[in-house]
Amino acid sequence: MVLIFHERVGLDGRRISPFSWRIRYALAHKGLDPDVVPTRFADVARIRALSGQDLVPIIEDDGYVVHDSWSIACHLEDRYPDRPSLFGGAAGRGAARLINVWSDTVLGRAMRPQIYADFIRCIDPGDRAYFRRSRETQLGMTLEQYSADRDAALPAALAVCAPLERTLSEQQFVAGGAPAYVDYIIFSVFQWARIGSPRDVLADATTMNATREWRARMVAMHGGLGDRFAGYPIDTA
Ligand SMILES: N[C@@H](CCC(=O)N[C@@H](CS)C(=O)NCC(=O)O)C(=O)O
C-alpha cells in the first residue's frame, strides 16, 4: 500500500489548514502513517496536475487520487473498514455530514475574523502576497479591516458554539464516549484558530469551559498530535 498525503504547510512547516488537520486526525484514528508531501500555495500547478482542482488536502491511495476532506474521510472509512471507524456506521456518517457543513459554513466563518489579521504571519513568506490578494479580493477589504472589530465580535462567534458547549458538558466527545470524525472536524477549526493567532478565542470564555477541556483532550490525543507542529510565530517578521 502506498498512501500519500498532500498537506498544506505554512511558515517553517507549520500546519495551517483546518481541512488538512481533520484528515491528519482521521489518519491517526485509522492508524495510517502516510508519506506526507508538504504543499505550499505556490505548488498549485502540481496539485492541479494531480487532481484537476486547486485545493488541498489530497490523498493518493495506491495511485487513486481523492481530494476534498469529506471525500477523503469517506474514502478512508470505506477502504479501511477493519480499522477503527470514523463514523460508526451509516447513520453516523449522515450526521457527520451535517457537522462538516456546519463547521465549514457557520463555525469556520465565525472564527475567521478572529484570526485572519494574525494568520498571515503563519503563512510561508513566499505565499503571503497570494494569500493576502486572494482573501482580500473575496472579502472586499484588507485582512486587518476584516479583523478590526474582533473583540466585539467574539461573544457572537462563541454563541454559535452554544450547542457544542452544551453537548460537551454532557459527554466527553462530540461522538459520545470516544472521539470520531465529528470531533476531528470541529476540532480542526479550533486548532486552526489556535495555531493561527496568539489570541486564544476560548481563554476567557466562562461559557466555554467544557469546550476548552475537550479541546485540551483533542490536542493531547494520538500522542499529542495537536502540539506536534509549531504554533503561532514568535518571530517579528
Ligand atoms: N472543501 C475542501 C476545502 C479545502 C480548502 O479550502 N483548502 C484551502 C485551504 S488550505 C486551499 O487549498 N486553498 C487554496 C487556495 O486558496 O489557493 C475540503 O474540505 O477539503
pLDDT in tens, 186-199: 999 999 999 999 99
Atom 8, ligand 1: residue with shortest CA distance: 55
Say how many Å lie between the CA of residue 204 and the centre of ligand 1.
30
Angle at 117 between CA 115 and CA 120, to 5 degrees: 95
Q: What is the pLDDT of residues 44-103, one digit of tens each?
A: 999 999 999 999 999 999 999 999 999 999 999 999 999 999 999 999 999 999 999 999
Closest protein CA for atom 6 of ligand 1? 55
> Rounded mean pLDDT of the chain?
97
pTM here is 0.97
Cα–Cα distance measured from residue 15 to residue 3, given in angstroms and rounded to the nearest whole number: 19
Work out the percent of the chain whose per-residue pLDDT is above 90: 96
With the most atoms of ligand 1 within 8 angstroms of its CB, the residue from 6, 21, 37, 56 to mutate is 56
Q: Please state the φ and ψ torsions of residue 197, each to the nearest 5 degrees.
A: -155, 145
Query: In the chain, what are the domains?
Result: 3-79 (3.40.30.10), 90-224 (1.20.1050.10)
- Report the separation in Å between the CA atom of 169 and the middle of ligand 1, taken as the mean of its atom positions: 32
The stretch 178-190 carries a mean pLDDT of 98
- Measure CA 237 to chain center: 25
Distance 177 CA to ligand 1 centre (A): 31
Q: Please name the residue whose Cα sits nearest to atom 14 of ligand 1.
A: 55
Q: What is the pLDDT of residue 198?
A: 96
Q: What is the percent of the chain with per-residue pLDDT over 70, rounded to a whole number?
A: 99
Residue 135 is placed in which grid cell?
A: 482573501
Cell triple for 187: 476540532
pLDDT at 235: 61
The ligand 1 atom nearest the CA atom of 70: 19
Q: How far apart are CA 237 and CA 226, in angstroms?
A: 25
The β-bridge relationship of strands 3-8 and 58-61 is antiparallel
